[in-house]
A and B are shown apart, each in its own frame.
Chain A
Amino acid sequence: MDIVKAARTAAQCRHYAMCKIDSLGTGVCPSGRKNHFVSYYPQGLMDIASAALDRGLPLTPGLVDVVRECTDCGICDLQCNFVTGLRPLGVIRKLREHVEDRLAAGERPEQTPQDPLAAELGEVVGRRWVSSDPAILTAYANDPSPVSAHTLPRCVVLPADTAQTAAAVRACDRKGVDYAVRGNGGSVMGFVLSPGVVIDTARMRGMEFDIPNRAVRVGAGISAMELQREAAARGFRVNAAEPSALYCANITCSGIFSLFSSSLGTAADNVVDARFVSRSGEVFALSQRDGPNLYAFSREELGQPGVCTEAVVRLHPVPEDEAAIAVPFGDMRSAMEYARELGTRRIGAGIGVLGGEYLSTFIAPTSGLADRMRSVFGEDLGMEHLVLVMGDRYHLEAAREMAPAVLEQELMTALILGMPSLQEDGFLEILRGLEGGRRPYEILTDPGMLPLVEAALDPSAEKLASAAEPELREAYRRLYDRPEMTDMLWLNLFRIVSSRMGRDGHVVAFIIYVPLDDIGQIEEIHNAFADICTSCGVRGAFGFLTPLDEGAMGVLEWDMYLDHTDPAQAERMRGAMAEAASMIEGFSARDGRVLWIRWVFNQGFSRKESFLYHGAQLT
């Protein structure tokens, strides 16, 4: 890999942070796990490489350390390729070569001048856990959001517990220095940048299960994936969203919603208690009677309630016979009506309406295959939307009875592992030619078709792996030999493929709470988004919808995409975002139940009833 390609690849990192968790059961970056600063993880190294190889970075001890601490294990290459198609290892090697060449040429690492604030914070957390080294800070200076600007912090501090966090906050408060809190998960929306101090909660890695009370105490440095995996090992689940998101930070931002929110709720529903450090450095708990009332919701932009350093959240038992089915539909309205009906009848542990294109993107392991599959589910098979239903056998029996057609797990496995043959061997064309009043998916999902589908596609891990880059094929084969990699329930529980939606560009997600008694309005919102994309020259698509609160409301995600390294696309996206904001507020003015998640931001500990039905609050 040459230096130009390395710099270009490095700039493509979209901060989805799948390299910071053991997303594939193949381990996690040993250097990152040991050193905790994001700068030591592949994500940070990509940012540092982008800066060093493209614009130049001073040779500092931090720069030397991050490259020499990398063990060259290659875990990140498969992890990143799996979701984004990128391969960080070559970039990191190029960065190391660049640093070693400078050292060999006689250049000496230059220590940055001592920052008094960093020194004071070092007294609190230990010198190792504070840095003002420009290379280290570079990994905290940007994100792919089109509305954020490169902002190099003055220093980064990694407290180990609540007391250290409180002391760090007080130090910033005393000196009047701005700070941002970051969970060290993904950073994609420009909220964790500061010219002052970045408080990184990555070291707060406590996790204590309290099975009798069906609760788990989780530190601010624990990711959703780690928490879910440990909960699953004990026969439970937590309501968790993106796997790399830090659980406490995720609640703080907007409350956690997932496909399981249809039964588990969102926001305060799953929180037993939480501990915070206030803006002035005082410690308080959510359960404290004389503390701030974080359960209340106010439709206004509020700052963070404080730094959430730990939370106690609910554990939900998982029946052994739990599984998933997908129910395909030819149009959005029918899919939403079905999902709403399931919600109203309290059927399903988890429910989500997905777009056909979304599904293709999720299940295709490579960008090339995803491109070829993009039209397969929607255009070819006529499956414009599908409803994913998860639950025990009683739930699924009821869901099947209500469904016009069902894509069962075995068929989904065959489609995923046989994907390369779906277009090539004529099977799809045969199905397409049978379309009349019934769509091709209705024939495909007939239970008797499974042997024919399997015989036609000859699904296997090896076949699917053949779509990957040659040197990664064996790794992909081993990966897809594992049954969970095609298991709809597992994939949604751990959500390791949802980051693939950003494979062809950074995602700008619009999340809106919508009433489900007016699906016509949701269609209008959908069409308005599509019109904005067309007029602004931006790519976009329906993301998902999950019913909430017995089908009364739903959480809708609509996504727009851009190459965040292209200034022209960023400019167009800013225009689209402005138009979308105006459009959403227009719908809210017409129907107060339409609520943009912007208004819930920083109020993630509030009761869902207080924001879903804020129009009914006493004034």
Chain B
Amino acid sequence: MIDEGPVLVTGATGFIGGFITAELLRRGVRVIAPVRPGGGRSPRDRAAALLEFFGLPPDSPLEAVEGFVDRPGLGLARPAARRIRNEVGTVMHCAADTSFAARRRDRVHRVNVRGLENVFHSVGDCRRFWHMSTAYSVGSRPGTYAEELRPAREFNNQYERSKHLAERRITELCRETSTRLMILRPSVVYGDSGTGASLSFNALYYAVRTLLFIRDTMLRDIRERGGDRARRLGVSAEADGRTRMPVSLPGGGELNVIPVDYLVGSVMALAEADGEGIYHIVSRRPSSVSALIGYIETCFGIYGLEVSDDYRRSEGGLQTMVNGYMELYYPYFCDGRTFEDTRARSVLDPAGITCPELSLPVFRRCMEYAVGQDWGAGQRI
């Protein structure tokens, strides 16, 4: 159930929060968004940039207030704090720190767990709390996971752990206050399947970005500096620019990715249905590393990428970069976890919402968009 609002949306200038905010505004819902100043821009400027990005009118009902999820009371000025406390009945909590870096452990915990508490306590009579989590909060063990909160102890990184702890904490808080809680667990999210648009270019994008960086660097070396370094790395180029890059990638398992338009559509449908509990928002037709290799060769002329179980043993600078990437993302590219989505489908199927497949055209559209945006360098939100 989505009323006129206002809905408090955290993380509104981020990837998922941004797309959800835009959809709420399109539906005429008033949104209040705590926003940090950043990149030399005020919260209001950032909100205006967000509206412009989504092609929404400047007078859309979006109110950006200066706020910081990692501070008690969100660090809000008194009038904003009072308005949020008195007027907000629904929270869409999307703010998160997605860093996998071990040394950011404290910050990730502060934002993802303490920040969640700060958000919850900043709202007075909150009737609905919609918490954007991740499918990977279930833990790292292979297996099939139902849409339920089960204890877990092993995780692939601090991000997963913090999202698990956050789910437990918000469940407890909502139970104590009889707040209606909906936990949304998407798998890996990429850009809009129809337009390619995105506000974030990590995870799936990062693999492509790294390969393109290496390709372009090697082509420059070959064309402008004699190609000695490319030869040392075993890289060669055809006359038409097709580039052979001999690296090994892991195979096996599956890659569960969903486009952001599917996520947003699902969230809206579940909200309209006044959903409660945990929902897995995942793809029933996961992709694979082999498929991605084919897409990369077709779209970017990079060949020589091979699937090998011994990929870690391969040597050289290219492999070092790939292995560095796989240290982070292997659990998602070759996932042994599968996610039941019976509860989610019971709402989404009647609404006609299905997950688009990561097909070659969709892949091409999203990656071309990312390249056009210089992997986010051209975006200022």
Interchain nearest-CB distance for A186 vs B (Å)? 38
Are A438 and B221 in contact (CB-based, < 8 A)? Answer: no
Are B324 and A452 in contact (CB-based, < 8 A)? Answer: no
Are B101 and A435 in contact (CB-based, < 8 A)? Answer: yes
Contacts A330-B103, A436-B100, A456-B217 given; indicate if A443 touches B225 (C-beta within 8 A).
no
Interface membership of chain A positions 438-481, coded 1 if the CB is closer than 8 angstroms to chain B and 0 otherwise:
11000100101111111110100000000000000000000000
Confirm or deny: A177 has a beta carbon within 8 angstroms of a beta carbon on chain B.
no
Contacts A330-B103, A426-B213, A448-B320 given; indicate if A455 touches B220 (C-beta within 8 A).
yes
Residue of B nearest to A437 (CB): B102
Are A455 and B327 in contact (CB-based, < 8 A)? Answer: no
Confirm or deny: B202 has a beta carbon within 8 angstroms of a beta carbon on chain A.
yes
Q: What are the residues of chain A within 8 A of B228 when measuring CB–CB?
A: 451
Interface residues of A toward B: which range? 20 to 34
Interchain nearest-CB distance for A394 vs B (Å)? 26
Confirm or deny: B229 has a beta carbon within 8 angstroms of a beta carbon on chain A.
yes
Are B102 and A436 in contact (CB-based, < 8 A)? Answer: yes
Bound complex: CA A430 to CA B318 (Å): 13
Contacts A436-B101, A448-B315, A452-B317 given; indicate if A430 touches B229 (C-beta within 8 A).
no
Are A443 and B217 in contact (CB-based, < 8 A)? Answer: no
Confirm or deny: A427 has a beta carbon within 8 angstroms of a beta carbon on chain B.
yes
Confirm or deny: B342 has a beta carbon within 8 angstroms of a beta carbon on chain A.
no
Are B317 and A437 in contact (CB-based, < 8 A)? Answer: no
Are B328 and A436 in contact (CB-based, < 8 A)? Answer: yes
Interchain nearest-CB distance for A137 vs B (Å)? 50
Confirm or deny: A147 has a beta carbon within 8 angstroms of a beta carbon on chain B.
no
Q: Which of B286-323 contact A (CB under 8 A)?
A: 315-321
Confirm or deny: B236 has a beta carbon within 8 angstroms of a beta carbon on chain A.
no
Interchain nearest-CB distance for A433 vs B (Å)? 6
Interchain nearest-CB distance for B215 vs A (Å)? 11
Residue of A nearest to B318 (CB): A452
Interchain nearest-CB distance for B243 vs A (Å)? 13
Bound complex: CA A430 to CA B103 (Å): 18
Bound complex: CA A580 to CA B101 (Å): 35
Contacts A449-B320, A455-B220 given; indicate if A430 touches B209 (C-beta within 8 A).
yes
Confirm or deny: B195 has a beta carbon within 8 angstroms of a beta carbon on chain A.
no
Are B103 and A427 in contact (CB-based, < 8 A)? Answer: no
Q: Which of B33-88 contact A (CB under 8 A)?
A: none
Are A455 and B202 in contact (CB-based, < 8 A)? Answer: no
Bound complex: CA A302 to CA B229 (Å): 60
Task: Report how many residues on chain B are interfacial, defined by Cβ distance under 8 Å.
Answer: 34
Partner of A433, one of B202, B217, B318: B202
Are B321 and A443 in contact (CB-based, < 8 A)? Answer: yes
Q: What are the residues of chain A within 8 A of B221 when measuring CB–CB?
A: 455
Are A455 and B324 in contact (CB-based, < 8 A)? Answer: no
Are B321 and A452 in contact (CB-based, < 8 A)? Answer: yes
Q: What are the residues of chain A within 8 A of B315 when measuring CB–CB?
A: 448
Contacts A430-B213, A450-B317, A452-B217 given; indicate if A443 touches B324 (C-beta within 8 A).
yes
Partner of A448, one of B102, B210, B317, B375: B317
Interchain nearest-CB distance for A521 vs B (Å)? 24
Q: What are the residues of chain B within 8 A of A456 when measuring CB–CB?
A: 213, 217
Are A433 and B206 in contact (CB-based, < 8 A)? Answer: yes
Q: What are the residues of chain B within 8 A of A446 when measuring CB–CB?
A: 317, 320
Q: What are the residues of chain B within 8 A of A449 when measuring CB–CB?
A: 317, 320-321
Residue of A nearest to B317 (CB): A452
Bound complex: CA A448 to CA B228 (Å): 14
Confirm or deny: B370 has a beta carbon within 8 angstroms of a beta carbon on chain A.
no
Bound complex: CA A11 to CA B351 (Å): 75
Interchain nearest-CB distance for B226 vs A (Å)? 11
Q: What are the residues of chain A within 8 A of B220 when measuring CB–CB?
A: 455, 458
Interface membership of chain B positions 197-226, coded 1 if the CB is closer than 8 angstroms to chain A and 0 otherwise:
000001000100110011001101100010
Bound complex: CA A437 to CA B323 (Å): 13
Partner of B325, one of A434, A437, A448, A452: A434
Are B103 and A439 in contact (CB-based, < 8 A)? Answer: yes
Partner of A458, one of B101, B225, B232, B316: B225
Bound complex: CA A426 to CA B225 (Å): 19
Are B317 and A434 in contact (CB-based, < 8 A)? Answer: no
Confirm or deny: B173 has a beta carbon within 8 angstroms of a beta carbon on chain A.
no
Q: What are the residues of chain A within 8 A of B103 when measuring CB–CB?
A: 330, 382, 435, 439
- Please give 17 more A-B residue pairs, beta carbons under 8 A apart, in addition to A437-B327, A452-B214, A455-B221: A433-B206, A433-B209, A434-B325, A434-B328, A435-B101, A435-B103, A437-B157, A446-B317, A448-B316, A448-B317, A448-B319, A449-B320, A450-B317, A452-B217, A455-B217, A455-B218, A458-B220
Q: Which residues of A contact B (CB under 8 A)?
A: 330, 382, 426-427, 430, 433-439, 443, 446, 448-456, 458
Return the 6 tightest CB-CB contacts between A and B, nearest first. A452-B317, A451-B229, A434-B324, A455-B229, A451-B232, A435-B101
Subset of 10 A-B contacts with CB under 8 Å: A427-B217, A430-B210, A435-B101, A436-B100, A437-B157, A438-B324, A443-B320, A446-B320, A452-B233, A452-B321
